[in-house]
Chains A and B, each alone.
Chain A
Amino acid sequence: MTDYSADSILVLLDVTPSGALAKSAAGLLGAAAGVGTPVAVIVAAPGEGEQAATDAAALGASHVLVAEHAAAGSGLTVPGADALAAAAELVRPDAILVSNSIEGREIAARFAARSRSGLAVDAVGVSRDAEGVVAHHSVYGGAYNVDSAVTWGAPVITVREGSIDARAEAQPVSVERLDVAASGRKAAVIGAFEEEVVASSRPELRGAAKVVSGGRGLGSEDKFALVDQLADVLGAAVGASRAAVDAGYIPQSHQVGQTGVSVSPQLYIALGISGAIQHRAGMQTAKTIVAINKDADAPIFEIADFGIVGDLFTVVPQLIAALEARKA
């Protein structure tokens, strides 16, 4: 039986289907270390927890609770919520941090509803004041900053992926097996899984430092390749406006905007995107915005740090050539 620090922050770490820690782990543990002592909880299939626990310690977990059970992969959401409930009972943390991934936030949802905890979603940061842990949110596409707290007890906070830059110091590995009493809650059953095929070495859109996005101005699926080319020269991820997705130029997983992915990269280049509020809501927190559009009145220019009124089919190839010439 371990003694847990009075300022423990319980962190549920997502595990990928292949058993590795999800990328969100580093940011979650970094955020937790800023407000207390991070205690990680990992739900894994038998035999798969050990490596993930070692990796979690390297990312700053002072202690790792591993719930290994065969059912981990067969029931949807409920096994995760049961493990989180057992861990919270054991650790009595000051706050519970969970990734705002689809899996993570649904586990947080079930746990919060069950324990009647206050739930704050999609935080971009956490801090501590005299009364406890506070969640910071960026809402309406980054137009407002909102801080939230809970009326009592430990808040359950889901943290936006890629939003936390802080990293925690590596800790010595300290692993404990977590016994989980199944709640018996009815769950959906997970069947066949198909991993998303990552066809290129391009960075993932979510959390990318640079993003090149294309809109309807690209004109066709074939011509959309120009977006890919520029992205590859810059080492950027590829995004798209909803118009480009609706027109079938690129799959929906690349959609940036209110109904797609929200990004805040260092550099965002919008090609042939008019900049409807719909789209701007997903990218206007980028550090630097560049826009190329033939319509001088396109609203994207209102927020662009560098705007070019021109034909992207002549400007972009020239840009690519110029960037390549500098590299050579």
Chain B
Amino acid sequence: MKIVVLVKEVPDTYGDRKLDLQTGLADRAASETVLDEIGERALEVALSYADSHPDTEVVVLSMSPGSAAATVRKGLAMGAAGAVQVADEALLGADLGLTAEVLAAALQRIGFDLVIAGNQSTDGSGGVLPAMIAELLDVPNATSLNSVEIDGAELRGERATDHGTMQVSASLPAVISITEALPDARFPNFKGIMAAKKKPFETLTLADLGVDAESTEASRSIVISLGEKPPRSAGTKIVDEGDAGERLAEYLVQNRLA
């Protein structure tokens, strides 16, 4: 079984995140970058399966700037056997369609029985790439899963939907995405970090994948304008002197909020 896990470098949500107002791109220098937590959980699903099925190969795949290599490498330290990073200047500002094409091409090259992704990243929070990739690869998408059970060539899980939960199943190969309901990821230990240095880390360009970022055959989504909202400022702040509840009630009524 070969499992490819999609991982992404994102700005840490515990810091301020900035967009570059000139380019419309994420300002990577403005905040700490981390491996997206939901991608770590996706990797945990793969690694825990591999723990009990030794014939499993887990590979992490990321499309990201070259500078993100260290972040992607964390996946190796956690226990993945190999990493593939697609890094190409022409991918700067890539939209969802191009990203899906690149990842699908990379997956075809790597080969897979199962692709695991997070349901939504914390930065773009699009939640569409797993289904787009499944479409391009003509495999089922079993997405937004709260639980995952892999049984030979079949996969089952509980899918969180907008109105409840449903059981879904799919035959492999398939693309799945998982939710925060799945367990936290393991921490890389010292042994893992040392071992990661010897593991294969392949860097691919668009030329390697035969993808043309400039092709006009597909319509692309582009940013046409961008603005920063003025930050909120603090209003009234009082220290409770025994009547704060009354005063808040007064405030809510005056502002027609109660």
Contacts and interface: CB of A to CB of B under 8 A. Distances in A.
B255 A288 contact: yes
Interface stretch (B107-115, B124-132, B202-210): B124-132
Interface residues of B, number: 90
A296 interface: yes
Contacts of A305: 235-236
Contacts of B255: 288
Interface stretch (A168-176, A181-189, A213-221): A181-189
A43 interface: no
A151 B220 contact: yes
Interface of B is mostly: mixed
Contact of B238 (A143, A190, A307): A307
A52 B80 CA distance: 48
B189 interface: no
Nearest to B123: A140
A315 B135 contact: no
Interface of A is mostly: mixed
Interface residues of A, number: 95
A210 interface: yes
With most chain A CB atoms within 10 A of its CB, the pick from B96, B135, B139, B240 is: B135
A266 B255 CA distance: 10
A306 B221 contact: no
B236 A306 contact: yes
Contacts of A288: 255, 257
B131 A296 contact: no
A107 B141 CA distance: 11
A222 interface: no
Interface stretch (A34-42, A63-71, A118-126): A118-126
Contact of A110 (B14, B127, B135): B135
Given A105-B128, A314-B240, A318-B245, A306 B224 contact: no
B180 interface: yes
Given A76-B142, A210-B257, A151 B222 contact: yes
B224 A147 contact: yes
B89 to A, nearest CB: 19
Contacts of B239: 296, 308-310
A322 interface: yes
A191 interface: yes
B135 A113 contact: yes
Interface in A63-99: 76-77, 81
B153 interface: no
B29 interface: no
Given A109-B131, A122-B125, A304-B237, 16 more contacts: A106-B131, A119-B221, A143-B17, A143-B229, A144-B19, A144-B229, A151-B220, A155-B219, A185-B135, A186-B171, A189-B168, A196-B163, A277-B14, A288-B257, A306-B251, A322-B246
13 contacts: A22-B162, A77-B131, A108-B128, A119-B221, A192-B167, A193-B164, A252-B181, A281-B13, A284-B232, A308-B244, A310-B239, A316-B245, A322-B248
